[in-house]
């Protein structure tokens, strides 16, 4: 299934669709987004959004070392298509109102269980590619 989404960033459009490539990781198979930018000198990238790399198990481990992510190994193909909440932080006060309006959607929502990665991979052949975080 291919889904096309057009987004507005700095008044320039870019398009996204579901990537056709499926990546094998130590935890399971993963599919992300293909992002094409309007500037033809910049290559398209595959984005894997909201990958959990550790967990606080809600608030259970607050102020304790994080554990391995809750997702653990999975069956089937997992889609990594959406941003997860960011870690709590103050919105800089010295931003112009235009810049604040542009960045605010990326600073919300916020929560303490924010141990997620967004991975961007240049588009190109990659036989045997394996995304892996850890020892």
Backbone angles phi, psi at 24, to 5 degrees: -95, 125
- Pairwise pLDDT comparison (71 vs 134), residue with the higher score: 71
Lowest-confidence segment of 57-61, 62-66, 105-109, 123-127 by average pLDDT: 123-127
| Model confidence, pTM | 0.68
CA-atom Rg of the chain in angstroms? 17
CA dist 78 and 96 (Å) reads 39
Element holding 48 (H helix, E strand): strand 45-52
Lowest-confidence segment of 4-8, 96-100, 105-109 by average pLDDT: 4-8
pLDDT digits (tens, 9 = 90+) for 29-48: 999 999 887 777 778 889 99
pLDDT value at position 58? 67
Give the mean pLDDT of 93-99. 82
Would you say residue 65 has pLDDT above 60? yes
Lowest-confidence segment of 23-37, 52-66, 107-121 by average pLDDT: 52-66
**What residues have CB less than 8 Å from 68, skipping those under 6 apart?**
54, 55
Alpha helix segments (H runs only) across the chain: 97-103
User: Among residues of the chain, what percentage have pLDDT more than 90?
Assistant: 12
Residue whose token pair is 């700095």: 10
């Amino acid at each position: 299934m291919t889904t096309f989404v057009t987004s507005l960033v700095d008044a320039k459009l870019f398009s996204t669709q579901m990537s056709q490539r499926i990546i094998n990781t130590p935890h399971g198979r993963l599919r992300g987004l293909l992002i094409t930018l309007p500037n033809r000198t910049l290559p398209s990238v595959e984005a894997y959004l909201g990958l959990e790399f550790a967990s606080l198990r809600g608030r259970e481990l607050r102020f304790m070392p994080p554990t391995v992510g809750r997702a653990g190994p999975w069956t089937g193909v997992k889609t990594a298509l959406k941003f997860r909440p960011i870690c709590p932080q103050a919105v800089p006060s010295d931003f112009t109102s235009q810049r604040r309006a542009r960045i605010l959607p990326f600073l919300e929502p916020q929560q303490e269980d924010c141990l997620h990665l967004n991975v961007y991979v240049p588009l190109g052949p990659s036989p045997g590619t394996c995304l892996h975080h850890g020892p």
